[in-house]
Amino acid sequence: MKIAVDVDGVLADIIVTWLDIYNAEHHNSVKKDEVNHWDFFGRLNIDRAEFDRIFELAWKNWRSIPPCETMLSQKVSDLSKLGDVSIVTARSTSSIPSVKAWLSDKMISYNDMIVVDYGPLKSALDFDVFIDDSPLNAKNIAASGKLVLLFDQPWNRDIRGEGIVRISGFSDAIAAITNLSQKKEKT
Ligand SMILES: [Mg+2]
């Protein structure tokens, strides 16, 4: 079983740090729950370049990025008992050292890290299961016939469909993948 685990919005709660920087610089007070759309930055009257600038700054400040849930190290370790866990992330190459430092600091172990360009490129990768929070990735991965465990976030609440299973954390992921393994054994 090959398992792809996303970083932003699945392991690292990047939006928290992103909003801290955005709110301070733009004199605003947007909260995470209000980020209920993938392209939310358009509604904040900033463009993609400004979103990316704050994103890069947030990762430079990686020590301030909280995990998406508690006991991540143990949960990812439990997940790796079910298959090979790869970190699969779409991002700029400049933030990769920060991501590696964050994962190491949180004691999250993984087989390898695959960095893809932005866009729906993850679906083409050879994995059985993807744990992701992106609506676009979820739709593309499901359309390619693979399983998506959609990590519940305010910006993906309206996404559903065949091949998409909503999870509220890694305990749900472990249950879903155990279920999938049992089904595969039967066929
Ligand atoms: Mg993500």
Residue 7 Cα, ligand 1 centroid: separation in angstroms?
Answer: 6
| DSSP output for 64-87 | GPPBSSTTHHHHHHHHTTTSEEEE
Residue 18 Cα, ligand 1 centroid: separation in angstroms?
Answer: 13
- In this predicted model, what pLDDT tens digit does every residue of 42-59 receive, in sequence order? 889 899 999 999 999 999
Residues of the chain where predicted confidence (pLDDT) is lower than 70 = 119-120
Fold of 2-13+66-186: Rossmann fold (3.40.50)
Q: What is the pLDDT of residue 69?
A: 97
> Residue ranges of the domains in the chain?
2-13+66-186, 14-64
**Which residues lie below 8 Å from residue 175, measured CB to CB, with a gap of 6+?**
none
Residue 171 Cα, ligand 1 centroid: separation in angstroms?
Answer: 18
Q: What is the pLDDT of residue 120?
A: 66
Residue 37 Cα, ligand 1 centroid: separation in angstroms?
Answer: 13
Residue 8 Cα, ligand 1 centroid: separation in angstroms?
Answer: 4
d(CA 55, CA 49): 10
Token pair of 77 as six digits: 């370790």
Q: What is the pLDDT of residue 183?
A: 82
Q: What is the pLDDT of residue 47?
A: 93
Residue 81 Cα, ligand 1 centroid: separation in angstroms?
Answer: 23
Residue 187 Cα, ligand 1 centroid: separation in angstroms?
Answer: 32
Residue 12 Cα, ligand 1 centroid: separation in angstroms?
Answer: 9
How many other β-carbons are positioned within 10 Å of the β-carbon of residue 97? Answer: 12
d(CA 44, CA 25): 13
Residue 133 Cα, ligand 1 centroid: separation in angstroms?
Answer: 5
Q: What is the pLDDT of residue 185?
A: 80
Q: What is the pLDDT of residue 184?
A: 78
Q: What is the pLDDT of residue 79?
A: 97
Phi, psi of 115 (to 5 degrees): -105, 125
Residue 85 Cα, ligand 1 centroid: separation in angstroms?
Answer: 16
Dihedral sign computed on CA atoms, order 14, 19, 22, 25:
negative
